[in-house]
Chains A and B, each alone.
Chain A
C-alpha cells in the first residue's frame, strides 16, 4: 500500500467542485489532465467508471486491470486498463492506500438481495448513473446506457479478500482529507456516483460529500 503524496497545488486546478452524496458527476478529461478525488469527511465510497471519449465502447475493465497488475487492489502506480487492454489512467498519488475493484455499484435490485426486499426504493449508485446518462443530451454520455454500466472502481472502499476466497466488507481505511489522484493516458469520460448506500459500512452509514479537482495537462 504505497502512500504517495501529490505535488499539485489546489489553487492551480482549473476545476474544483464538491459533489454531495447521492449525486453523479459526468466529466470529460483530456489526455494528460489529472483528477483528484478527496474523501472530505472519511469513509466515503466513490463509485467510478471510465470510458474512452473517442469510442466509449472502450471502457474501464476490472478484470483487465487486476490481471495486468496481478493484484486486486488499486493504489499509487496502478494503471486502470480498458476492455481492449489499453491504459486509460494511471494513479499517480494516493494517501488512502487501497481501493476496491470487486464490490461494484449498489442498485435498487441488488439491494433487495443484499438487505431486504422492501429496500428497493432506496437511492442507489446505479440510479445515479442512469440519471446522469438520461440527462446528458450531447457528448459521450448521450451514447451510454445501462448496457455500458460495468463493474466499477470503488475509491476509498475496503473490500479485502481472504486466501480462502471469502470477500469481506470492512470498515474503511480512509479518513477525512485522504485523496487519490490519477492522470488520464487518453481522452476519457468519467462517470462518478458518490455512493448513497445506507445499509453497510462502506460509507460509515453516513454518506458525505467529496471534492473533485482537475489540473490541466
Chain B
C-alpha cells in the first residue's frame, strides 16, 4: 500500500489556524528555557509559536519503561519521510506510536538537526551566566534536555536524536542541509496527541543550525486538552492511524499495550 504522504508533502493543505479546544491547562515555556512533564494517553498538547521563529527541541520516553523512547530512524523509515507534519506518528524503538501530529498549520518540523551543546552556544553567542544575566542567561539545548531527563532518573545516555518542532532544515538533491530562516510565523501551531503515558522533555533554545548570530530564543505556549478518554483509543478512521499501512500496524501495537 503506497504511503498517502506524497501528495500531502507536495501541496500541504493546511489550515491557517486550528479549531478551538476545551483547555485543561496551559503554560508558556519562556524563550531559551526548558520544561518537562508526564502527558497521559489520550491527552493532546496544542503547541503554539507565540512570536514566530521558535524552536522546540523535544524527546519522548515512555513513562512506565523509559527504555522505550522516541526513535528517529524508526519514525522516518516507517512513514518514508524526512520531515514531520500532520498525519505523522512519532514511533518508539518498540514498534509503537508514542505521539501523533493530528493537526498542523506549518507543514514541516525538523527531525534531523539535533541540539546544540555548551561549546556550540558559547562559540555562536558567547557566554551569559546567571550572576550577570539572571534568568536571561543562555541555556544550551543539550544541557537543557539532559537536566530535564535527570529529574526522572535518566541521563545523557538517554538523550537520543530529538525533534525540532517549528524548524525546517531543507535537504538538497545531493543531501546538503540548509536551515530555512523565518519558517515559523507568530501563531503557527500543531497538535501533538500522546498515545501512551509519555515523559516529554522540551527546550526552547535556538536550533543549532540557525545562522542568526544573535541569541534570540522565542517562547512556546502549551495548551493541554483531551483528545480521547483515558480508556479510549484513536478512532478507527483517525487521520494518523490511517495515514499509511505502517501506521495502522503501529497503532495496533500501541493499543495492545493498553488492552
Instruction: Name the CB-closest residue of B to A86.
Output: B119
| Contact partners of A114 in chain B: CB under 8 A | 77-78, 246
Instruction: Name the CB-closest residue of A to B114.
Output: A63
Given contacts A85-B119, A102-B77, contact A165 B83 (CB under 8 A): yes
**Interface residue ranges of B37-89 to A (CB < 8 Å):** 67, 71-74, 76-78, 80-83
| Contact partners of A117 in chain B: CB under 8 A | 249, 252-253
Q: How far is the CA of A104 from the CA of B75 in the complex (A)?
A: 10
- Indicate whether A105 reaches chain B with its CB closer than 8 angstroms: yes
**Interface residue ranges of B9-52 to A (CB < 8 Å):** 9-10
- Indicate whether A17 reaches chain B with its CB closer than 8 angstroms: no
Interface residues on chain B, number (Cβ under 8 Å): 52
- Indicate whether B222 reaches chain A with its CB closer than 8 angstroms: no
| Contact partners of A168 in chain B: CB under 8 A | 80
- Indicate whether A113 reaches chain B with its CB closer than 8 angstroms: yes
A166 touches B67 (CB 8 A): no
**Interface residue ranges of A49-106 to B (CB < 8 Å):** 57, 61-64, 66-67, 70-73, 83-85, 98, 102-105
| Contact partners of B178 in chain A: CB under 8 A | 70
Q: How far is the CA of A111 from the CA of B173 in the complex (A)?
A: 28
B78 touches A110 (CB 8 A): yes
Give the interface residue-count category, chain A: 35 or more
**Interface residue ranges of B203-230 to A (CB < 8 Å):** 208-209
Instruction: Give the segment of B130-138, B154-162, B187-195 that binds chain A.
Output: B154-162
Q: How far is the CA of A73 from the CA of B114 in the complex (A)?
A: 16
| Contact partners of A175 in chain B: CB under 8 A | none
A150 touches B160 (CB 8 A): yes
| Contact partners of B175 in chain A: CB under 8 A | 71-73, 98, 160-161
When A and B form their complex, which 8 residue pairs have the shortest distance between CB atoms, in order from nearest?
Answer: A104-B73, A63-B114, A109-B95, A165-B83, A72-B175, A73-B175, A161-B82, A167-B82
CB-defined A-B contacts under 8 Å, sample of 5: A102-B76, A112-B249, A117-B252, A151-B73, A159-B77
